Amino acid sequence: MCPYVSIVLLVLTVNTATSFKIPNDDADKLLNAHERIRRKGDELDNEYTIETKPAEFVHDYARVMSKSILFYEAQRSGELPENNRIKWRGDSCLQDVVAENNGRKVYDLTGGWYDAGDNIKFNLPMAWSTSVLALGFIEFMDAYEKAGLMDDMIDSIAWPCDYLLKCHTKIGREFYYQVGDTKVEHRLWDRPEDLTHDRIAFKVTLQDKGSDVVALASAALASCAVAFRKTGRNDISNVDEYARNAVSLYRFAKNIKGLHPGQKYVDKWEDKLVYAAVWLHLVTGEPRYLKEAEDLYNEYNLKGRSWAFSWSDTREATKLMLYKLTGKKMYTRSVMNYINAILPINNPKPYTPRGLYYRSGWGSLRYSAGSVFIALIAAKYDLSPKVYREFACNQTNYMLGDNEHHSFVIGYGKDPPCSPHHRASSCPELGVDCLYRNAFSNPGCNHHELTGALVGGPNENDEWKDNRQDYVKNEVACDYNAPFQGAIAGLLELEMNGELPPACYILKEPV
């Protein structure tokens, strides 16, 4: 008998012959969690049924992971390596240097990733994305091994980490958190290779606040060091330097508590300090960092449910990591609070008609991907595994094209996007002028395929157009792909272990 595609129903009328039932033990776990967290009027049965349709295919998760890594290579700034695989990209922004003391001291800030469809380097989302990619690499390393992507993944996350080292210009005293002025860069539609103007760089010192971005830089460096050590390889450079700088940046972050200057989209720093402390425990093995993480978690009262897992709120990943390290149920109760509250069986309101978990119109898929990533790690820790994996399958299938329309991943699946809001890929070949008429206003596809990028996504009614000029629904970003790639790796690992839920199976062979 072939596997089955599953669709969660709130009010079930089964007209087909076959249905899949969640066993009572998993349903009981879910029920007990909801009994503690449900809002007035919410109810959850201790068993629910999922309507099913025959299916026999699954998405090519290894291919999706490989393409996602290629997207990050397309985002690289600085001098590209000899093995650069994105042939339409070249060296760029080599003028990203800062001179101090009348030119007597020069800091090299080349490298890193361009944030999204622009040519700015924002270190807060870059650091968060790096740490999330590293966490997914650590949790689902067998999937990367199976897909033959170990070397590619190591190179991928080492690129931003090497840049973050450069940004830590004075150990424990100074950190550059942004290169490029939004007021200048967002007015320009050009490939980064053609930018020749001096670019402003912004920093925090001991006289400023900025523990949010500095703590995330610490977490990024520590997470890469932990991941690289787990590979067992001895030929990866800078690992010890990542660890040393992670410690220094964490101490620095504690001395400048608050949000970094000019921050508009982050409203808290406390969660990022605790997140960094957990990573420091993992990279150093020192119990004091774990104790400090738990103490600060309680002091800052971080047990509440996140609005979404993203670079503005790291709490849900922190809770899972603390549970794994301590085994304390207080962390599982809290993270289950987050996941259970968004399951369609409990709360159908935040879902589109075709089943996407919908949190916000700007980059809607990033929030679904973030929730899936957290749910799959929780399931790995034996927290309602069947329920959470079903949720993950339904959401990722939507992103990969099982939504009655198309894929949202460039270069994969049925009718994928080809006109993302992305400067470099929209421009013609290197050497040909990049102008509004042949790039931004070009009615056709971008001149180059931005392989592997997850675009922003649809509105609450599943409406979306492949429109380069729509940065809300059709831009790409490093933080969109990070939890998405981790989630896909989690599903590949389930497939490898013969644990892929019926909901992950699809009716047609993936394109």
> Which residues are tagged catalytic?
118, 421, 466, 475
CA angle 140, 302, 269 (to 5 degrees): 85
* Helical (H) or strand (E) element with 251: helix 239-255
Q: Assess contact for 175 and 252: CB atoms under 8 A.
A: yes
CA distance 9 to 50: 6
Cα torsion 134, 136, 138, 140 to 10°: value is: -150
Instruction: Give me the count of residues in the chain.
Output: 511
* Contact (CB, 8 A) for 366 and 476: no
Report DSSP state, residue 107: E
Strand order in the sheet with 174-179: 121-122, 174-179, 201-205
Nearest to 473 by CA among 358, 387, 335: 358
Q: 229, 239 in Cβ contact below 8 A?
A: yes
Chain-centroid distance of CA 176 in Å reads: 22
* DSSP reduced 3-state for 476: coil
Residue found under tokens 């001395």:
255
Give residue 413's region: left, alpha or beta (phi > 0; psi -120 to 50). left
Q: What are phi and psi of 31, to 5 degrees?
A: -60, -45
Instruction: With H, G, I as helix, E, B as strand and everything else as coil, classify residue 238.
Output: coil
* CA-derived radius of gyration, the chain: 22
CB 165 within 8 A of CB 214: no
Per the DSSP assignment, residues forming a β-bridge with 475 are 421
